[in-house]
A = this chain, B = another copy of it.
Amino acid sequence: MTIADARPFAEPLDRLKRAGLRPTRQRLALTRLLFGRGDRHVSAEQLHAEAKAARFVVSLATVYNTLNQFTRAGLLREVVVEAGRSYFDTNTSDHHHVLTVATGSLTDIPVGTLAVSGVPKIPEGLEVERIDVVVRLRPRV
């Protein structure tokens, strides 16, 4: 067991500090909710509701600010699955997703499982930032 395992919040907070974000009460509470229980895919509204349920009142504006700052700092990844709603993913590794359209539930495909081949030549001056793969599921007919 490493020190990181024993203090699961230490690493994100270190990265926060390195990103120039002060460890405020709000950011600490949201960090605990986000990173306290394994990989998650949450919307801003969901996280806001969770904070309220945990008796930690934080404004929706701060939830959005924090999620966007964390994303810019590389602590989170934004996943867009349908127009008008985005999920924030605590798993920032290079992985892909399965979306059950009917329920809106999003799950990870383990890293290294799914592979993409035959990516076309990229125009001069540009490079691949990321490849997003979403496997969309529907009820079997």
Contact = CB atoms under 8 A, between A and B. Distances in A.
A1 interface: no
Contacts of A81: 80
A126 interface: yes
Determine which residue in A117, A126, A127 has the highest number of CB atoms from chain B within 10 A of its CB, and name it: A126
Nearest to A100: B126
B98 A127 contact: no
A115 to B, nearest CB: 5
Interface stretch (A9-17, A24-32, A130-138): A130-138
Interface of A: 78, 80-86, 98, 100-101, 109-110, 113-120, 122-123, 125-141
Contacts of A141: 127
A51 B11 CA distance: 53
A4 B85 CA distance: 39
B119 A135 contact: yes
A116 B117 CA distance: 6
A124 to B, nearest CB: 8
Nearest to A138: B129
Given A85-B83, A120-B109, A120-B114, A138 B134 contact: no
- Closest CB pairs A-B (n = 8): A83-B86, A129-B138, A126-B137, A114-B118, A129-B136, A127-B140, A132-B134, A130-B136
B120 A98 contact: yes
